[in-house]
Amino acid sequence: MNFKRFKNKATCPELTDAPPLGMDADSLGDDFRSYYTYNLGRDRNCRLTHYAYEALALTVRDRLMERWKNTRYAYEESDCKRAYYLSLEFLMGRSLGNAVHNLGIEKEVADALHEVYLDMEELADIEPDAGLGNGGLGRLAACFLDSCATLQLPVMGYGIRYEYGMFRQHIKNGYQIEEPDHWLASSNCWELERPEYRQRIKFGGRSEFYNDASGKLRVRWVDTRDVLAMPYDVPIPGYRNETVNTLRLWKAVATEEFDLDEFNSGDYAGSVAAKNEAEKITMVLYPNDASENGKDLRLRQQYFLASASLQDVFERWAGVKGKHLKEFAEKNCFQLNDTHPSIAVAELMRLLLDRHGLEWKDAWDITQQTMAYTNHTLLPEALEKWPVRLFQTVLPRLLDIIYEINARFLSQVAQRWPGDQERQRRMSLIEEGPEPQVRMAYLAIVGSFSVNGVAELHSQLLREGLFRDFYELWPEKFNNKTNGVTQRRWLAYANPGLNQLISSKIGNGWVTELDQLSRLKPLAENPEFRDEWQRVKYNNKQRLAQLVKDECKVTFNPEALFDVQVKRIHEYKRQLLNVLHVIHLYDRIKRDDVADWTPRCVLIGGKAAPGYQMAKLIIKLISNVSIMVNNDPQVGDLLKVAFFPNYRVSAMEVIAPGADLSEQISTAGKEASGTGNMKFMLNGALTIGTLDGANIEIREEVGADNFFLFGLTAAEVEALRPHYDPSGIIAGNEDLQRVMNLLKHGHFNQFEAGIFDPLIAAIESPYDPWLTAADFASYVTAQQQVASAYRDRAGWTRMSILNTASGGKFSTDRTMREYNREIWRLPKIANGVDAELDRKFHPESILDAPVS
């Protein structure tokens, strides 16, 4: 790539400002045909839907491009403060349907396609999911971006452009098989390469001290092995508001030095190997949703993202008009999505000290005023730690800085608690021991002005448990921001039937103001409305049943109760408890205890981390149980069980609308928030759940009568641990005893002796951290209440409506307004054609006025 610039003014409006593109069916159709014929070079002999998808995607993308440019201009011209969402994961899913929906051209596109005998759904289905995330944390980042664009907040996402996203899951003989997800194999029109903004990232080498021109002692990082960061921009359309924000994803590319080395040394193979080494950094997403400690490459990914993004922000910020660094903190804010990008704290210090020559105190003030940290886990074993030794070789200069931060921090601790050595040891950024480790969460807390959890209970448990010492020191830093989901994707787009029904009654204001859903509440008492609601749910269940038929080869009857648990497979999420209940139902059928039976279809889906043996065994158990249950003529339609393979964003778009019952059954105190629970609620599913994460707030909103509660509370869980006696519990509960006996007698593994022994042992262990046996009885009781409630169709439908109607709080629009009001404090920036109209009709901002 040649980076020579124009000699004259060729970037003036004459070059860059084209007349707006038509949004009508004719213009869209013309462009579609033009792309199909001239850009893609296809003709009437091509019958592949892929090219039609691509032509449509390019047509739609053009409409985003002009709005994107206008949004950038509006942000530049306003010179406003901006926030950056730093995340190792953005689980975007598909883009075409979302773009069409947010642009508001669904009908126009459908009409244009109709002219050429094509169907939008068929084309949208071609697009591979952008699976650049594991689960909740990654999807939350994607929902946040949608809400920020819709609220017209100047927020940019920064992430990694993994060549291979989340693995594809196959089930073979009941076992999970992982297959690489080469999602970029066919061209991706939803990204724009921006070589002009590439950055250089250092690795390895050593710190060197020197005196600068004024004689000041300074440090530089030398003898490094550098890698280039190439940005790819992804457009993030707001909802029908002319705003298109940016997600910038970095790809690692070898520097030209690699090519030169090759040229000069003649070691061709060696040079190619070095090039591969550099480009490996962004090759693959780590498929663990609990930290995988000590992996060199993962640390490189984290630093690569942090450094590229910070340098990029500096460049844009200083580029405008050589600003004074003191202003940096007033104009920039970084939100760290968990500790994964938290090395940014040390990297910002390095840039300010080594590159911009600031004094430590000034640099630290800026850092502490710009960084904000969000925690997403309560599991102590999931807190990230990196061996000091690894830091020393990969990021030596950053380790210097971390040591200095720690020394100054510990002297602050010593001042506050004189003589309390134990506390200093506890709070140190370095965990001492045979293999000293850097505690990334502590680095994030010390370097940030805000630390938040993602649901009320979670934030409380952070203050009282995990981060107690830090809360004592800095209570003002700690706050809660309950998660949400974007209703544009998860209700308006994914559930067109319900969208239409709701909007026909209360208008479509809820698409941008989700609280308006509460206006549905009186309609829950209206029998005609309930019938309409039920019809929509029934259609969605048919659609889901078809998907289950195609993917699992199991027939679900839409008349039955659809009982769904989809999420990552984890012991704390207790898919095992779900299976125990399924086995219990099967046992009841086998002993003919089926009076007043409610037919039930149980769907369980999710990926297990490839190295997580217990999680993989749970999948195998679900598969084996499903084979026994589904092929038993005595069971028939009373019970069906299916494991849904390769659970992903686009699958959830069909699953959530078709669910009756949402399983949120984690051990209390373990699920930080959950967000699937919110997607199900909005789509009218009822929740069976523990008092964990955001379930508590969901229950508060919908009312205890419309929520199936069971299980120990977080406090009861902790109180029980020391004298937990699962064997006693099993002996005292006939249902559970029978279930355990079926398992122990190998009823579900007749030709695979002993394979489920580890699961049996886990349930029976007095040290079972997840207390599965403890909650069994109350879970079964709650499930019995579910079954009876479902038999009263009018009553169930009433509760279903109330669930949707009470979901207003769980919009990421609300979450983003809170982040903005209490952490970022950004102005709303309208842009383009809309801006003037917007100011005229909405003089006051849709955001709450900043608190002074």
Query: Which residues contact ligand 26Q by CB under 6 A?
Result: 134-137, 140, 286, 288-292, 298, 340, 376-377, 384, 454, 483, 671-675, 693
Annotated active-site residue 568? The verdict is yes
Query: Would you say 246 and 156 are in contact if contact means Cβ atoms under 8 Å apart?
Result: yes
- DSSP-assigned states of every residue in 25-82: HHHHHHHHHHIIIIIS---TT---HHHHHHHHHHHHHHHHHHHHHHHHHHHHHHT--E
For the CB of residue 573, give the shortest distance to ligand 26Q in the complex, in Å. 8
Q: Which is nearer to ligand 26Q, 671 or 813 (CB)?
A: 671
- Report the nearest approach of ligand 26Q to the CB of residue 575 (Å): 14
- 98 vs 675, beta carbon nearer ligand 26Q: 675
385, 458, 530, 567: the catalytic one is 567
Q: How far is the CB of 660 from ligand 26Q (least distance, A)?
A: 22
Structure tokens at 732: 């005292």
- Nearest approach, Cβ of residue 675 and ligand 26Q (Å): 5
What is the DSSP pairing of strand 385-387 with strand 437-439?
antiparallel
Residue 674 CB, shortest distance to ligand 26Q, in Å, is 5
Token pair listed for 280: 């490996």
Annotated catalytic residue within 598, 675, 690, 797? 675
Can you tell me which residue has the tokens 């039955």?
560
> Is 172 a residue of the active site?
no
User: C-beta of 133: minimal distance to ligand 26Q in Å?
Assistant: 8
Given the complex with ligand 26Q, which of 624 and 675 has the nearer CB atom? 675
679 flagged as catalytic: yes
Quick one: 435 or 792, whose CB is closer to ligand 26Q? 435
Is the Cβ of residue 293 or residue 424 nearer to ligand 26Q in the bound state? 293
Tell me which H or E stretch contains 402.
Answer: helix 396-416
DSSP H or E run through 131: strand 130-132
Specify which residues 235 forms β-bridges with. Answer: 246
**What sign does the CA torsion over 438, 444, 446, 452 have?**
negative
CB of residue 216 to ligand 26Q, shortest distance in Å: 38
Do residues 666 and 690 lie in contact, with contact meaning Cβ atoms separated by under 8 Å?
Answer: yes
Q: What is the DSSP string of 177-211?
A: EEE---TTSS--TT-EE-GGG-EEE--S-EEEEEE
**How many other CB atoms are found less than 10 A from the CB of residue 529?**
18
**What secondary structure letter does DSSP report for 3?**
-
Dmax (CA) for the chain in angstroms is 90
* Cα–Cα distance, 51 to 41 (Å, whole number): 9
Closest distance of CB 205 from ligand 26Q, Å: 24
Looking at 597-733, list the stretches that DSSP marks H as alpha helix, in order from N- to C-terminal side: 613-630, 649-658, 676-682, 695-702, 714-720, 726-731
Ranges of beta strands (E only) in 705-816 are 708-709
732's CB contacts (< 8 A; 6+ apart) are none
Tokens of residue 531, six digits: 């019938």
Q: Is the four-CA dihedral 453, 455, 461, 463 of positive or negative sign? A: positive
User: What is the closest distance, in whole angstroms, from the C-beta atom of residue 288 to ligand 26Q in the complex?
Assistant: 4
Q: What is the DSSP string of 577-609?
A: HHHHHHHHHHHHHHTT--TT---EEEEEE-PPP
Which residue, 382 or 582, has its beta carbon nearer to ligand 26Q?
Answer: 382
Measured from the CB atom, is 466 or 672 closer to ligand 26Q?
672
Q: Which helix (H) or strand (E) holds 106?
A: helix 106-115
Please identify which of the residues 198, 376, 385, 798 carries the catalytic annotation: 376
* Complex with ligand 26Q: residue 144 or 471, whichever CB lies closer: 144
Any catalytic annotation for residue 567? yes
Q: Tell me the torsion sign for CA atoms 263, 266, 272, 275.
A: negative
d(CA 486, CA 814): 10
Q: What's the min distance (Å) between Cβ of 252 and ligand 26Q?
A: 17
- Which of 573, 581, 584, 809 is labelled catalytic? 573
3-state secondary structure of 439: strand
Residue of 679, 699, 798, 814 marked active site: 679
3-class DSSP state for residue 222? strand
Nearer to ligand 26Q, 231 or 676 (CB): 676
Residue among 300, 340, 568, 648 flagged as catalytic: 568
Q: Which two tokens stand for residue 90?
A: 């953005």
Rank residues 36 and 286 by Cβ distance to ligand 26Q and give the closer one. 286
Is-contact 212 240, C-beta < 8 A?
A: no
Which residue number is nearest to ligand 26Q in terms of Cβ? 136
Any idea what the Cα angle at residue 254 is, between residues 231 and 2, rounded to 5°? 65
Q: Name the residues annotated as catalytic.
A: 376, 567-568, 573, 675, 679
